[in-house]
Amino acid sequence: MFEIISNLIAAFFTLAIFSFLYKDNPMYRLAEQLLVGISVGYGIPLTWQNAFIPFVYQPIFIQHKWYLIIPCLFGLMYVVRFSRSLSWLARYPIAIGMGMTGAGVVLSMNAGVLVQMRSAMQPIDNINMLLIFIGTVTVLLYFYFSKAHTGFYGKITKVGVWFMMIGFGASFGNTVMARISLLIGRIQFLVYDVIMGFIK
């Protein structure tokens, strides 16, 4: 009985979300606001139990690591962003966070640039490596703006544009397929769990 009721509620909210495909309506807004409210209501105690208790309360008040009060105060400064008179205090933790990301530049440089450079400098022993080499060179030449994209150079940069369009299309296709798989999952739920559940 509990499974039937929970499936009916899930089906109702699924159809309420799908109703936005027709136009904005009260059922969609109800489902949207309930989703946001339930997510916040679930997230706050989860954060309290899994983040605040083990990383703030226990280290400071049980293990007496008093120096951890300083990062906690910086974290609380984010909250004063909602106060007009004290919102300027939120700039300090934001500035510290932005400054600390500078340490991650070296790691991101390694992951985002050096690894890709090493991958592009492999011996050209098959068609895949040849395509990677041509694509890398032509795309880099496209972004070299000190020379006009005319003549033979312009034709080379056009090849780079084609490589970029294929890459953008593939990433867009992956995004669309991920959304389609979510839609298929919801339709399978409506058909197999809800409708077929009643027929059985």
Instruction: Encode pLDDT of 112-155 as tens digits.
Output: 778 778 877 888 889 988 998 899 899 999 998 888 989 999 99
Within 13 Å of residue 169, how many CA atoms lie on the same side as its CB? Answer: 6
Centroid of chain to Cα 116: 22
Mean pLDDT computed over 96-120: 77
Number of domains in the chain: 2
End-of-domain residue from the set 50, 69, 104: 104
**What pLDDT is stored for residue 83 in this prediction?**
87
Mean pLDDT computed over 30-47: 94
Mean pLDDT computed over 34-50: 94
Q: Could you tell me if residue 113 is inside a domain?
A: no
Looking at the fold, whether 99 and 191 belong to one and the same domain comes out as no
Domain that holds residue 185: 122-199
Looking at the fold, whether 97 and 127 belong to one and the same domain comes out as no
End-of-domain residue from the set 48, 74, 104: 104
Q: Give the integer Cα–Cα distance in Å for 195 and 152.
A: 63
User: Of 5, 4, 37, 2, whose CA–CA distance to 197 is shortest?
Assistant: 4
Residues 95-120 as b or e (16 or more Cβ within 10 Å = b): eeeeeeeeeeeeeeeeeeeeeeeeee
Looking at the fold, whether 91 and 25 belong to one and the same domain comes out as yes
**What pLDDT is stored for residue 97 in this prediction?**
83
Enter the pTM of the model.
0.58
End-of-domain residue from the set 43, 78, 104: 104
Mean pLDDT computed over 90-95: 90
Q: Could you tell me if residue 8 is inside a domain?
A: yes
